[in-house]
Amino acid sequence: MISDQDIQSAVEASGRFQPAIRSARYYRDADRIEFETAWCIIIVDRQSIEEFRGLSQNDMETITVSDVGVHIDGADIDVNSAGLITEIAKRLEIEVANSF
């Protein structure tokens, strides 16, 4: 059974929740996606995101975000925001590791 304390804890935790991605915008001319986070803007080539590689540019223009994910409505695809940002950061770390 769920206690009143469990419910209160869940309410407090949800009040601290912030989405990993606040907004997303597709740039057709450059075939890039801009992700706005709480502390930076990340612009990546669409082809660098596996889930988006096979999609048309028309599908990409239907990109939206929710509290937990990035959605491509035209292709019925959902990608977890925190996982996506983590994957981008890991790849960036590898790519710049030997640059200094």
- pLDDT tens, 69-85? 999 999 999 999 999 99
Start-to-end Cα distance in the chain: 55
pLDDT band (50, 70, 90) for residue 97 = confident
pTM (2 decimals)?
0.79
Q: Is residue 9 one of the residues assigned to a domain?
A: no
Write out the residue range of the structural domain in which residue 81 sits. Answer: 20-96
Among 37, 40, 49, smallest CA distance to 77 is for 49
Q: Is residue 8 one of the residues assigned to a domain?
A: no
Q: What is the CATH number of the domain that holds 53?
A: 3.30.2020.40
Q: Is residue 5 one of the residues assigned to a domain?
A: no
pLDDT band (50, 70, 90) for residue 6 = low
- pLDDT tens, 30-44? 999 999 998 899 999
Q: Is residue 63 one of the residues assigned to a domain?
A: yes
What is the three-class DSSP state of 66? coil
The mean pLDDT of 81-99, rounded to a whole number, is 90
Q: Is residue 87 one of the residues assigned to a domain?
A: yes
Total count of domains within the chain: 1
